[in-house]
């Protein structure tokens, strides 16, 4: 009987030999069927690790890969038979150790295309056995890892304090406006100063922040998003500290008053005695940190020009919103990009930064965001040279170590995680009370109370 008329589970070695010949693997039939007695059941359970083993001894890499691809196609076509034997198809199709992370996705994609060309009705099965499929409906590959999220928040907290202190230092080093006039700038030289523009920039940033908080509220993987936001923001602002310290640019506008402000805190702290006092610098840094460096919060500094922190905040918020909202929400994406561009325009119109400050801030923020997500979404780039990745991207390697592939834009009610939290607490309290009761009953059984007259 022809092997096509029999289920692979019932194949004999002869059927396996026919299958090998039909799929252009005839030169391996002796090795598999005669030397190793591979029947249908054994063939369905073969993995590439088995094919690479010394016992088989397949030396030609091309033969090994082509045979592995044919076997994977057979396994997907007969996944039900594998399940009936008590095996998990997803485990059998795992990438073998020592191979690139791209192998599983690429080979599975080739098989998928070939199978869909033959029979489109098995698309559902292919989705269930795809490289991004998780057998657990809760997707264990995307755990929230709340501890790492709080660690990234602490990282951002430390960086914001460093940034505030550096802003105090560069304010003291700002060049004298009378000796060093504003540098030539194409935009600033041709656009008059708009006094209220900088406040409008900060209002647009606040609006972007509100939209981002809305996305976080309903996104299912909110802790992963927060972790990435904190890590990227902290890294960009830490780089900004370095650029601010290296070069002090002259004040971009003559309208800026780089002197003590009328604000009570600033008027009290900007005195001659504080220039040599570290404690006073820390107090000034706290005022900057408390107001998030925003002029609408009463913070006024000079010298922190290279590069624009406001542009960093606007761009980071815009990119995160557009990345983690569905592609069909064109209105939201257009709206956030408009806010980003208008915010940059308001910064320049207020003559608070040079054009180069804004351009470099946008470029660095957008490139770092794209580089980070390119590595995160393509695990093969990480696996190609993991040691180098850990050296050059230590934060990325740590925070993304448990995230496998692209984070899907899935949404849920914010009450769902609260319900899960309450459920966990309830179960633990219930088990604790139950175990305590059982232990108490056990003690009473062993030591019954004795009655006394």
Bridge partners (DSSP) listed for residue 219: 411
Instruction: Indicate the helix (H) or strand (E) that contains 349.
Output: helix 330-349
Say yes or no to pLDDT of 237 above 80.
yes
Task: Output the six-digit token pair for 220.
Answer: 């299912």
Q: Which residue, chain included where needed, has tokens 């690479």?
A: 52
Q: Find out whether the peptide bond into 338 is cis, omega within 30 degrees of 0.
A: no
Say yes or no to pLDDT of 128 above 70.
no
In this structure, what DSSP letter does residue 174 have?
Answer: P
Task: Output the six-digit token pair for 16.
Answer: 């396996």
Q: Could you tell me if 280 and 269 are in contact, meaning their C-beta atoms sit under 8 angstroms apart?
A: yes
Dist CA 204 CA 211 (whole Å): 11
pLDDT for position 341: 96
78 counts as catalytic: no
Over residues 311-329, the pLDDT tens digits come to 999 999 999 999 999 888 8
List the catalytic residue out of 15, 25, 221, 310.
310
- At 139, the pLDDT band (50, 70, 90 cuts) reads very low
Over residues 263-276, the pLDDT tens digits come to 445 445 544 454 45
Task: Output the six-digit token pair for 160.
Answer: 């914001």
Query: What is the three-class DSSP state of 194?
Result: coil
Say yes or no to pLDDT of 4 above 90.
no
Closest C-alpha among 350, 280, 367 to residue 310: 350
Give the DSSP per-residue string, 105-132: HHHHHHHHHHHHHH-GGGHHHHHHTSTT
pLDDT for position 2: 73
Over residues 402-420, the pLDDT tens digits come to 887 788 888 888 787 777 7
CB hemisphere CA count around 225 (13 angstroms) = 25
Dist CA 364 CA 410 (whole Å): 29
In this structure, what DSSP letter does residue 251 have?
Answer: P
Say yes or no to pLDDT of 448 above 70.
no
List the catalytic residue out of 219, 221, 353, 373.
353
List the catalytic residue out of 39, 185, 304, 357.
357
310 counts as catalytic: yes
pLDDT for position 155: 94
Mean pLDDT of 346-364: 93
Task: Output the six-digit token pair for 221.
Answer: 């993987």
Task: Output the six-digit token pair for 1.
Answer: 């009987």
Say yes or no to pLDDT of 226 above 50.
yes
Dist CA 245 CA 307 (whole Å): 11
108 counts as catalytic: no
Q: Could you tell me if 72 and 1 are in contact, meaning their C-beta atoms sit under 8 angstroms apart?
A: no
Dist CA 133 CA 127 (whole Å): 7
- At 127, the pLDDT band (50, 70, 90 cuts) reads very low
Mean pLDDT of 219-227: 91
pLDDT for position 363: 95
Give the DSSP per-residue string, 25-89: -GGGHIIIIIIS---HHHHHT--HHHHHSTTT----HHHHHHHHHHHHHHHHHTHHHHHHTT--H
Q: Could you tell me if 255 and 188 are in contact, meaning their C-beta atoms sit under 8 angstroms apart?
A: no
Dist CA 316 CA 237 (whole Å): 11
- Is the full-model pTM beyond 0.85? no
């Amino acid at each position: 009987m022809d092997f096509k008329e029999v289920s692979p589970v019932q194949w004999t070695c002869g059927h396996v030999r026919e299958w090998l010949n039909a799929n252009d693997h005839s030169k391996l039939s002796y090795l598999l069927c005669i030397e190793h007695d591979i029947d249908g059941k054994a063939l369905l359970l073969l993995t590439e690790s088995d094919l690479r083993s010394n016992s088989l001894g397949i030396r030609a890499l091309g033969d090994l890969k082509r045979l592995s691809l044919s076997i994977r196609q057979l396994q997907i076509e007969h996944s039900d038979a594998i399940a009936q034997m008590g095996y998990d198809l997803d485990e059998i199709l795992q990438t073998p150790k020592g191979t690139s992370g791209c192998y599983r996705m690429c080979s599975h994609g080739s098989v998928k295309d070939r199978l869909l060309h033959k029979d489109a009705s098995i698309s559902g099965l292919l989705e269930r056995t795809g490289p991004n499929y998780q057998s657990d409906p809760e997707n264990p590959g995307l755990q929230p890892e709340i501890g790492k999220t709080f660690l990234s928040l602490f990282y951002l907290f430390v960086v914001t304090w460093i940034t505030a202190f550096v802003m105090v230092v560069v304010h003291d080093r700002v060049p004298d406006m009378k000796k060093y006039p504003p540098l030539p700038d194409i935009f600033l030289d041709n656009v008059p100063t708009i006094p209220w523009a900088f406040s409008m920039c900060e209002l647009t940033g606040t609006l972007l922040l509100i939209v981002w908080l809305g996305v976080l509220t309903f996104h299912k993987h909110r802790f992963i998003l927060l972790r990435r936001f904190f890590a990227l923001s902290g890294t960009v602002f830490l780089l900004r500290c370095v650029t601010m310290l290296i070069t002090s640019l002259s004040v971009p506008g003559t309208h800026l008053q780089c002197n003590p402000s009328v604000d009570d805190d600033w008027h009290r702290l900007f005195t001659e005695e504080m220039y040599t006092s570290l404690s006073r610098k820390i107090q000034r840094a706290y005022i900057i940190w408390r107001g998030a460096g925003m002029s609408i919060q009463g913070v006024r500094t000079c010298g922190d020009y290279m590069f624009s922190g406001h542009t960093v905040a606007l761009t980071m918020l815009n990119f995160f919103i557009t990345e983690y909202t569905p592609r069909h929400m064109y209105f939201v994406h257009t709206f956030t990009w408009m806010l980003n561009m208008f915010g940059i325009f308001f910064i320049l119109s207020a003559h608070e930064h040079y054009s180069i400050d804004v351009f470099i801030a946008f470029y660095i923020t957008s490139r770092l965001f794209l580089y980070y997500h390119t590595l995160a979404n393509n695990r093969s780039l990480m696996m190609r040279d993991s040691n180098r990745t850990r050296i050059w991207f230590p934060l990325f390697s740590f925070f993304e170590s448990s995230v496998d592939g692209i984070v899907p834009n899935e949404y849920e009610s914010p009450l769902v995680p609260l319900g899960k939290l309450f459920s966990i607490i309830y179960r633990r309290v219930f088990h604790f009370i139950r175990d305590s009761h059982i232990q108490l009953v056990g003690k009473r059984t062993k030591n019954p109370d004795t009655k006394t007259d």
